[in-house]
Amino acid sequence: MAQEVGELLGIVFVLFLILLVISTHPSLSSYVSKWRQMKSIPGLSPTYPLLGNALQFKSNGRDFFCQLIEYTNVFRNEPLMKLWVGPVPFLILFHAETIETVLNNPKHMDKAYAYKFLHPWLGTGLLTSTGDKWRRRRKMLTPTFHFSILTEFLEVMNEQAEVLIEKLEKQAGRGAFNCFSYVTLCALDIICETAMGKKIYAQSNSDSEYVLSVYRMTDIIIRRQRMPWFWPDIIYYLLGEGREHNRRLKVLHSFTEKVIKERAEHVSDAESDSESDQGTKKRRAFLDMLLKATDEDGNKLTPKDIQEEVDTFMFRGHDTTAASMNWAIHLIGSHPEVQRKVQQELLEVFGQSNRPINTEDLKRLRYLECVIKESLRLFPAVPFFARSICEECHIKGFKVPKGANAVIIPYAVHRDPRYFPDPEEFRPERFLPENSEGRHAYAFIPFSAGLRNCIGQRFAIMEEKVVLASILRNFSVEATQKREELHPVGELILRPEKGIWIKLENRVH
């Protein structure tokens, strides 16, 4: 009996390998060619044919991230290293100089293979599209992120920050609590209203099906990316989380489809009847601009195009800023001298008033911006991202074949002692203009860099300033975790394993 079971498992394993190769690499000769060409690049051992290094990877998100960072430490003196995830080759880049050769080359602008698992949710919008479609879309959308338009969103940011303060007020003086979800729900409210013009009241209704589906869908995608045996659809839907994936997808798409339809009708009505708002100025949202946007040929976006971008804004526009703000809160709460400097700056800008933050205030919050950047250096919201090598090239003397994937790891790049001495130390002064002069442009890349940098980075910095300033105008923060207790989990977003625990005390004005 045991022998029969063993034979059956052997057959299943062989069939799995065949399906894996067929689904990820139609040409076996292409795989063999890449294997030979990349043989000289430093990498892990052993590496098995077809499976690569997949069996060596930790399944737990936190352990896998620690493992990846440990690889960058082991290979720190090498210009790059390679990993094979199943039959797919990945170059791991963690030096500013090698990263520049990829990110600044217009030939290597396509996202890597693993991004295909985002397509069912995000389609091929700005985050996941390639080639001419990406270039046209980027050119079309860039004006919607102009600073003058972003300032219109300040009112929303102030309002939602005020709701957050009301929620945090109930925790002040009551001991340690986990602030992570409070800040995340605030960021979700901000992006929903600024991207779609839709209030979802996430801070008051965190159990909404849409809110839960956003979080759950992210987790589902992460797991699939890390497990090559679930890459073939037939296996994923038979043995993996394919059914839940589709159920969550339906919730997400139904919500955004409904909002887009309602907003399109509103825009149409407003154009046909200028008095429809009875003289009141309606707040603009990114969605309104998408509905009116045209390319150089005068073509408008289709409903599917618009949904791709709205879903992309929702996915990338709240999780990243929420994580960044939480890391900053921990670091500020762990360094009383930094907190005093921030609060002194806030006192100089706002005095004892509790007025909303305006655009002039944002410009004057220079030290707070340094704090935000130093937080992003230590804990970049996106711990790694990947590009496809679209033509054969050489990186630091190593031949890299077309079709390989380059993984850039900001978490490791930002700890290069050549550019950031004592890299684990939290020193916001590193980002004062006089201390940043001469630093390699690719040594600090929390929003990626080069031709495909993050289109929403000014929006993110603005939001972080508003929310963090609001918190620190009202409370003194004390972190109750040590750095080594945070256990960063590096997935699509860098998160602390057990949240950010702090104590709050009301400030006396």
- Bridge partners of 254, per DSSP, are none
Report d(CA 111, CA 128) in Å as an integer. 6
Q: DSSP assignment of 298-362, as one string?
A: -PBPPHHHHHHHHHHHHHHHHHHHHHHHHHHHHHHHH-HHHHHHHHHHHHHHHTT--PPP-HHHH
3-state secondary structure 411-451: HHHCCCCCCCCCCCCCCHHHHCHHHHCCCCCCCCCECECHH
Report d(CA 215, CA 218) in Å as an integer. 5
Q: Say which amino acid occupies 314.
A: M
Helix (H, G, I), strand (E, B) or coil at 389: coil
Helix (H, G, I), strand (E, B) or coil at 4: helix
- 123 token code pair: 């389609």
Residue 208, Cβ neighbours under 10 Å: how many?
16
Helix (H, G, I), strand (E, B) or coil at 43: strand
Report d(CA 500, CA 485) in Å as an integer. 10
Backbone phi, then psi, for 139, in 5-degree steps?
-65, -40
Tell whether 66 is in a known binding site: no
Report d(CA 351, CA 349) in Å as an integer. 6
Helix (H, G, I), strand (E, B) or coil at 239: helix
Q: Could you say which DSSP state residue 133 is in?
A: H
Report d(CA 89, CA 49) in Å as an integer. 11
Helix (H, G, I), strand (E, B) or coil at 16: helix
What are the C-alpha distances in Å from 2 to residues 5, 7, 8, 286? 5, 9, 10, 61
Reported as half-sphere exposure (CB side, CA atoms, 13 A), residue 443 has a value of 17
- Bridge partners of 475, per DSSP, are 506
Distance, first Cα to last Cα, the chain: 78
Q: Could you say which DSSP state residue 408 is in?
A: E
Q: Which residues are within 8 A (CB) of 39 and not within 5 positions of it... i.e. 6 or more apart?
A: none
Report d(CA 20, CA 23) in Å as an integer. 5
Q: DSSP assignment of 81-113, as one string?
A: EEEEETTEEEEEE-SHHHHHHHHT-GGG-SBPG
Report d(CA 136, CA 295) in Å as an integer. 7
For the annotated binding site for heme, the residues are 454
For the annotated binding site, the residues are 454
